[in-house]
Structure 1
Amino acid sequence: MRTTAILVPVYTVTAVVREIFTDDHNDPQSLVYRELAQRIIELYNMIYRKRFGSRFERCFVRRFRRFPGGRQRVDDMIEADVGVMFVNTTPTDELPMNSVVAQTLIDAVNTTNNFSVDIGINQIKIEGPVPDPGTTVAPISTASTAVPTTTTLAPTTTTLAPTTTTAAPTTTTAAPTRTTAAPTTTITTTTTTVATITQRVSFRSVQATFTADLLNPSSTAFRNRATMIETQLGTFFRSEFTSFRSFRVVRFRNGSIITDANAEFDTTTTIPSGTQIANVLIIASSNITGFDIEGSSILINGEPPTTTAATPTTTTAAPTTTTTAAPTTTTGAPTTTTAAPTTTTIAPTTTTAAPTTTTAAPTTTTASPTTTAAPTTTTAAPTTTTAAPTTTTASPTTAVATITQGVSFRSVQATFTSDLLNPSSTAFRNRASMIETQLGTFFRREFPSFRSFRVVRFRNGSIITDANAVFDTTTTIPSGTQIANVLIIASSNVTGFDIEGSSILINGETSSGTSGELNMLLCGKCSILGRQNDTAYF
């Protein structure tokens, strides 16, 4: 016998929407409120219909409020209460537990970055009719502009209507109905809510003209420009930092157009410095379309980035590198942060191997006394319902920490031009791409830990190239001398640019081997090329 369905099964999911809260979000009749509500409803409907199919009915917005609470700030975000409604004929034993409804949203946001709404999964709260074992059902607020939610999980009691005749009494006793759930074994890693840190990023686009509609986050102009910037810059951050989570435009300001955005990183691996974030923007500026980034205008958390470099230490044997701030790789359990719950939070749950058996209290149905012509006794056959065992297994995620080495060298056979100061110019982009492609090949072949080589800027005299070489820390990090050696070897094979060996700097310092290894390489190169170029390398 299936458990009777409850009336209007509705869950309330509370999550942070990373958009700026305004007074219009308090007014369900305002255009701003309705536009955001529509985007949220479309997104949630897609997520929950895909997960629960015909059992799911629809979603609706209960209300928006300022997040965080307390003192108001201009960059406060939005907390949204959303009702997730299931078909009211769904038996209670087929309704998902509260934590499953919340986890469905978390999983969807974690696996997709191009939703029309930026949902923060770190503060998700859930109220619903099917609490996890060991929790109680919290009351669901009915302050809703849509469908009120009355959720009751009371035992079912059936009473037969009395029948009256003129003869002897008849006693009808129904046998107890026993519903026994099969053991449910859950093999799972901790349901993880990863702590994040947000870095505020600002830059100016000098080739664009500000218009008043960019002040309105709901306008077509704002949304189109924000999407264009988020999509392109998100690609660069994602390829550079394993800890990157999202890049979201917060607002636009006048002069020409100033973009303020939030770059979010998780804290389970290395968090990039302001300089590293700025370097990504400079690199991206030569490859983006539809907008530009003025390098000198870049601010990270309201301040210009400062350049800091770790100095490698070289030994005469197998080179090792000592840095003053070595990145750390975290392989243990990620830090879990959960906002203080007002009802039932998604607390990580671990179930031991021993299965738990839950037996529902028997439902007893007793008929009222009746009279019939002859005594009659009717006994109903017991009914047993057994649920199939459920096994859930979650997979772990591993992040890799990296270290960045600053590389500089002079190209004496080239002439500096002013357009090389602009990362958006054709001259800058062409020369940077040429250098990155060719030197990246040499580093990749020499070092298993090599991740990327990116030109940061060009300077006058003849042309000085400043670049970043990125290596992961899971294998040996090359020393300054090893990096310089690769550049010396590459200098005799590159085309379109040259490398003056004596000008090579690693993290701002000259790297020379104590055994004269570097000088031998330089001299060897001179002997090979001396007849072609009398200026040599010294």
Structure 2
Amino acid sequence: MTTTSTTPTTTFTTTTTTTTTTAHLAVVTLQVTIQEVFVPALSNPQSTEFHTLAVTITSVCDVIYRAKYGIFFIRTIVISFIPVFRSRMAADTQVVLEVVFNETAIATIVNTTMPKDIDVKDTLKEAVTNPNSTFNLSVVPNSITIIRVPNTSTGATTITMATPVITTIVPAAPTTTTAAATTTSVATNTLTTVSVEFTSKGETFISDLSTSSSQAFQTRASLIKTQLEPFYRSAFASFNSLTVIKFRNGSIINTMNLDFSSSAVPNSKEIGTVLIKAAQNITAFNINPTSVTVSGEVVTSSGISSKTSLFTASCLVVLSLLLSS
């Protein structure tokens, strides 16, 4: 009689343990004006002009901040370019710039804290005003301002470690895996568009302003957007954006769309009043306060809206003449 015995087999296998460490980044956002002629292509982050100027600026800033903060500094990032008009025909370039620090590295060094945002601003200002500076970049020193204080974002670095584990091979029982369905709810912020129109009295209309692809159209549209958006952003938390739609003759009639969050759209009177008040502070172009219309309503300087049609106005004129005779 033959007896067969089975001995469990022991083998060495390797499993992978993944450890995730978190690096915290602190970001200071600055706004800087450089003496560089603004061209419409700088509004497009995909353009060659945007990329070339961005590389020039970040190269300069990286040298400045790395010399000051060493391993705590990571890099600078150009976010956008917008025009800053010296006159109606010429514009410098304003840069929105992020300065990124490694907050995790700062926290590991005893008696070391995150640089204050004012120090980040002053470091750049001192470097560009240094008479011995060799940087090929003309910065307007007093234009350097802080527009966003440090905020924290999280990045993950994965480290893989091999760990030996002894296991015994035995027949495995069948397993069933059930996948749980996950439903993601996406909140949609709907916008409401309001049409606004005003006349630039005394300015000359040219035919190129009728074509949205022309440089004259894009330059004027960018000028209006840059000048007016801060007033509406300051006045209404629900304001989203301003887009110039068209220009018409007479002197120049400017038509634009304002987008607001649909949950809190200001009325025509409030929207028009902001534009009328802005006219007192804007010199880059003319705003005739008596020409402001919002969704077809004429908004007066007192903030009272009216919908007087051409027919009604004509009837009032005729009636006035009859009464006077």
Q: Per the shorter chain, which TM-score range?
A: 0.3 to 0.5
Larger gyration radius, structure 1 or structure 2:
1
Ranked by relative contact order (alpha carbons within 8 Å, sequence separation 6 or more), the top structure is 2
TM-score normalised per structure 2: 0.39
TM-score normalised per structure 1: 0.24
Higher share in helix: 2
Higher share in strand: 2
